[in-house]
Amino acid sequence: MTKTTGLPPLNALRAFEMSGRHLNFRAAAEELGVTQGAIAQQVRGLEDRLGMRLFQRRSKGLAFTAVGRRYHQQVSRAFDILVSATDELRPRRAVVTISVTPTLASKWLIPALPKFTREHPDIEMRILATEAISSFHADGIDLAIRQGQPPFGASLDPHLLFAQDVVAVASPNLVQGRELPLTARQFEDFTLLHDAHDLWPEFARRVLGNAALSAPAMRLSQTSLAIDAALAGQGIALAAHFMVRADVEAGRLVQVHDSALRGAGDFYLLSRRSAKGGEPVEAVIGWLLAQR
């Protein structure tokens, strides 16, 4: 005699478990993708096999009988065990956590994630977007992208991602009818979108040759907000070229001056030198460097 002798059909048990969860044949049928009649028939067959009623049929749904409630608890537990056992058989995706600034996350990394997922379906990249300097140990991160210049510390390996080449961009609608590039004088006809880095005075002095550039100003706390404001036609923003490259190529933004401001702090991908993260981390590093 096998251990399954006398066991009701699994389809009937599944119909009973789902019906008991919703206390409604219709809702159970929708979740299982079958007809309401099929669910009711499966439950009826189970009751006939067991020789007892598991539900009371009411006009607005179902109600457990006393024996039905006890049986449902055990059947639900059994299905939970089956689900857990099956999940344990499946290979788990490797997780790589990367710390980036909110602007880098929204304007560069997150838009590229679908491509990463297609190329590396076995790796889950988790993004910690914060302006704070994250700790590899305390915050449990594997990689970080930060702006600065080496050395970053003896325990970290720096990989140059992007140079800090700052360009001026605006919506094409904002500068429609103007010949580009704009002259230093023409910049004063537009609102200048400032962010926390406040690079406009340096851009005016070193790129435009106009130390006394006077123009309306809008001040925002993050570069991503300045870029969004530029996309909305509210003024001219300064941003690292790689952050706005996709918008410029798509025609959503235009570079309104040919020259760029060479900033002091480039963008580096940082990884731990002493505790390598294994193949998943190395795969993410290789993929990020390939996006340059």
DSSP secondary structure, 203-264, as one string: HHHHTSS-TT----EEE-SSHHHHHHHHHTTS-EEEEEHHHHHHHHHTTSSEESSS--EE-S
Q: Is the pLDDT of residue 253 over 80?
A: yes
Rounded Cα gap, residues 263 and 203, in angstroms: 10
pLDDT confidence band for 2 (50 / 70 / 90): very low
- What is the C-alpha radius of gyration for the chain, rounded to an integer number of angstroms? 30
pTM of the model: 0.67
In this structure, of 44-58, 105-119, 216-230, 274-288, the range with the lowest mean pLDDT score is 274-288
Reference 168, options 61, 31, 260; nearest CA is 260
Query: Each residue of 112-170: pLDDT tens digit?
Result: 999 999 999 999 999 999 888 777 877 889 999 998 888 877 788 899 999 989 999 99
Three-state DSSP state, 68: helix
pLDDT in tens, 168-202: 999 999 999 999 999 989 999 999 999 998 999 99
Question: Whole-angstrom Cα distance, residue 9 to residue 6?
Answer: 9
pLDDT at 1 over 50: no
Count of CA atoms in the C-beta half-sphere (13 A) of 110:
13
CA 235, CA 227: separation in Å to the nearest integer? 9
Q: Which residues of 136-149 are buried (b: 16+ CB within 10 A; e: fewer)?
A: beeeebbbbbbbee
Task: Kindly report, residue by residue over 240-250, the tens digit of the pLDDT.
Answer: 999 999 999 99
Note the pLDDT of residue 207: 93
Q: In terms of DSSP H, where are the helices of the chain?
A: 10-22, 25-32, 36-50, 66-89, 102-104, 110-119, 184-187, 200-206, 223-231, 241-249, 279-290
Residues sharing a CB contact under 8 Å with residue 5, sequence separation 6 or more, in sequence order: none
The type of residue at 77 is: R
How high is the pLDDT of residue 48? 94
* Domains detected in the chain: 10-89 (1.10.10.10), 94-163+266-290 (3.40.190.10), 165-262 (3.40.190.10)
Question: Can you tell me which residue has the tokens 């990989």?
Answer: 159
Q: What SS3 class is residue 61? A: strand
Check if the beta carbon of residue 281 is closer than 8 Å to that of residue 271: yes
Q: Could you read off the pLDDT of 42-67 as tens digits, one per residue?
A: 999 999 999 999 999 998 889 999 99
What value does the mean pLDDT of the chain take? 90
How far is residue 288's CA from residue 210's CA, in Å, rounded to a whole number? 37
- Kindly report the backbone phi and psi dihedral angles of residue 14, in degrees, each rounded to the nearest multiple of 5, phi listed first: -65, -40
